[in-house]
Amino acid sequence: MAILMANLGRLIRMAISRKSLPKVSSLFSPSSSLTSLSTTGDGDGGTGMKAQPPLLNHSSNPIRRSGNYQPPSWDFQFIHSLYNPYAGDKYIKRCSELKKEMKKNLMVMVEGSIQELDAKLELIDNLPRLGVSYHFKDEIMEVLRSVQPQEIIHYTLRPRSLGSSDNMVFTSLKVLSIFFLISSFYKLNDFKDEQGNFNQSLCEDTKGLLQLYEASFLSTESETSTLLESANIFANGIVELVRHALELPLHCKMLRVERRWYIKIYEKIPNVDPLLLEFAKLDFNIVQATHQQDLRNLWRWWNKSLLAEKLPFSRDRIVETLLWIVTAMATVIDDIYDVYATLDELKLFTHAVERMEIKAMNQLPDYMKICYLALFNTTTEIAYEVLKQLGINAMPYLTKSIKILSSLSLYIYIFGFPYNGLITIAAPMILVHSLFLVTNPITKEVLDSLTNCSDIIRWSATIIRDVPKSIQCYMNEKGGSEEDARKHINFMIKETWKLINSTAQRDNSLFSKTFIGCAVNSARASHSIYQHGDGHGIQNSLIKNRIFQLFFEPITISIP
């Protein structure tokens, strides 16, 4: 990263002075020397852009590109008209009562026998999927400690048939629970036979389930079809679970999205725990009410900034910024570089960001001035709050991340986006800002790690990329088919998730669990946004419906 940034500094100065530009590969190569990119009369020793750029002539009617972005789906009036009764004392009190009952139930399970293992594993699986495990971290650990590995293996892999009293729904949940337990306690090797193969008992229920599913379609109009029709309803429910899992692994899903989906599934399960179901629904709605208040505050800031009014070419996506890590300022900057500005204007803007001082905006076009000033004010305000609360001057780290974003954006404008272009360029800036807002205390080692792009930031930023654009760039660079491009990008994503997991699970990590959670969840959110196209820019119906359910539509509850 240090080599890249040094070379980018040279690149920008050469672009400003209209000298010939180097090839793409020279900027990313470790063997690249700064002298190979040097120009005469830089006057700064290659350390940065210190020379004042010449004033550039601007055409009165420059040719502008357009992203053809649609207006926002939700406006200021809609957000401020929202009414959520679940923010009231009645529901908060009821939620607190249910939480106490659930804690008691969990502690009773600690003393449970092997015969109650089904109930333990089912509950341990349901708590995180329903989104309420954060309330019971200590109790969950006690339940897990009460279960021996050999008990789980023996109980789960024992022979069973479709006609047994074991409900296949619970069997499926137990398998999910086992792998949840493995991640914290056990090894996959415990589930292999003497020959090193996975125990065949793991597949028996799957085969039976498929047979049941196929047989359920043989029903006729006779009365004897009742059983088969019931089997069809049952099997289809399991198929929905399987299809949902195969579409995207649970570990890569956005937790709030998964939570809303799974609540609907859970309430259809036989012998559902009514207390847990009511608690999950209430907790979801109460958190949703908090998000709605966050949206009101965010929208007031957005309206006050006038960015949407003064920069109408940019995506107005304030609600979407609450869904995932891409912030309003990052979106505006991206659209300036990627959609609207001319090369001459971008050279000026990049130089101004490199200086990061108020007077640097004097040479900018009017529409860039308001963006630059909003960026400057937002950064200094964050640095001010960090200094007050933590006693740390965050300004050098925040501005460096912004300079990297600006420099890489200019590079991409000139050369285009390589399919394996290191990382999504806005993500490191946003994660660095997040680090200072969620970490207390911040150690010197953490600050030193920001000198280079740390692993957790690098791998998360690699996932947070525009997948459709990456596929297109791969096809252009490699000349392959769309199918080959998709396979390659999916392979890269899978391999990067391995790196994220290894980094996130380190016992000696410099970063807090809260920040690591932010980085991992940001990668998950990008899957939600780009899984079916560009959900941030185009706002397809799937994303709209997902946002509506998460932020605006409470789950119906009947309070006793």
In the chain, the percentage of residues whose pLDDT exceeds 90 is 33
CA atoms within 13 A on the CB side of 68: 1
DSSP state string for 436-447: HHH-SS--HHHH
Task: Give residue 208's pLDDT.
Answer: 54
Tens digit of each residue's pLDDT (9 = 90 or more) over 421-450 = 555 578 889 999 999 999 899 999 999 998
Q: Quickly tell me which residue has 């029903």 as its tokens.
A: 219
Q: Tell whether the model's pLDDT for residue 348 goes beyond 90.
A: yes
CA dist 61 to 1, 23, 57, 119, 339, Å?
A: 38, 31, 12, 70, 16
Architecture of the structural domain at 419-535: Orthogonal Bundle (1.10)
Q: Tell whether the model's pLDDT for residue 115 goes beyond 70.
A: no
R_g over Cα of the chain: 27
Domains of the chain, by residue range, sit at 1-51, 63-87+288-416, 88-272, 419-535
User: E strands of 295-342, at which residues?
Assistant: none
Task: Give residue 361's pLDDT.
Answer: 95
Tens digit of each residue's pLDDT (9 = 90 or more) over 284-295 = 999 999 999 999
Mean pLDDT lowest for which of 54-58, 238-242, 330-334, 555-559? 54-58
Task: Give residue 164's pLDDT.
Answer: 44
Task: Give residue 155's pLDDT.
Answer: 53
CB atoms < 10 A from the CB of 312, how many?
Answer: 12
Higher pLDDT, 277 or 533: 277
User: With b meaning 16 or more CB within 10 Å and e meaning fewer, what string describes 139-174?
Assistant: bbeebeeebeeeebbebbbeebeeeeeeebbbbbbb
Architecture of the structural domain at 88-272: Alpha/alpha barrel (1.50)
Q: How far apart are CA 253 and CA 258, in angstroms?
A: 7
In the chain, the percentage of residues whose pLDDT exceeds 70 is 68
Where residue 412 falls among pLDDT bands split at 50, 70, 90? confident
Q: Tell whether the model's pLDDT for residue 110 goes beyond 90.
A: no
Task: Give residue 34's pLDDT.
Answer: 30
Higher pLDDT, 157 or 555: 555
CATH topology of 63-87+288-416 equal to that of 419-535? yes
Q: How far does the chain reach from its first CA to its final CA, in angstroms?
A: 59
Contact 433, 398 (CB under 8 A): yes
Q: Tell whether the model's pLDDT for residue 130 goes beyond 80.
A: yes
Task: Give residue 433's pLDDT.
Answer: 93
Task: Give residue 368's pLDDT.
Answer: 96
Tens digit of each residue's pLDDT (9 = 90 or more) over 179-191 = 444 444 444 455 4
Mean pLDDT for 196-206 is: 55
Where residue 224 falls among pLDDT bands split at 50, 70, 90? very low
Task: Give residue 143's pLDDT.
Answer: 82
Q: How far apart are CA 95 and CA 131, in angstroms?
A: 14
Architecture of the structural domain at 63-87+288-416: Orthogonal Bundle (1.10)
Task: Give residue 402's pLDDT.
Answer: 94
Where residue 35 falls among pLDDT bands split at 50, 70, 90? very low
Task: Give residue 71's pLDDT.
Answer: 87
Residues 6+ apart with CB under 8 A from 235: 209, 212, 213, 216
Take residue 300 and report the two structure tokens written for it: 């007031």
Q: Angle, nearest 10°, between helix axes 168-184 and 117-129?
A: 70
Q: How far apart are CA 428 and CA 462, in angstroms?
A: 10
Contact 470, 546 (CB under 8 A): no
Take residue 5 and report the two structure tokens written for it: 């940034």
Long-range own/partner contacts, residues 149-154 (CB < 8 A, 24 or more apart): 149/185, 149/186, 149/190, 151/114, 151/117, 152/117, 152/121, 152/178, 152/181, 152/186, 153/190, 153/191
Contact 304, 318 (CB under 8 A): no
Reported pTM: 0.77
> What average pLDDT does the structure give for the chain?
76
Contact 21, 39 (CB under 8 A): no
3-class DSSP string for 163-216: CCCCCHHHHHHHHHHHHHHHHHCCCHHHHECCCCCECCHHHHHHHHHHHHHHHH
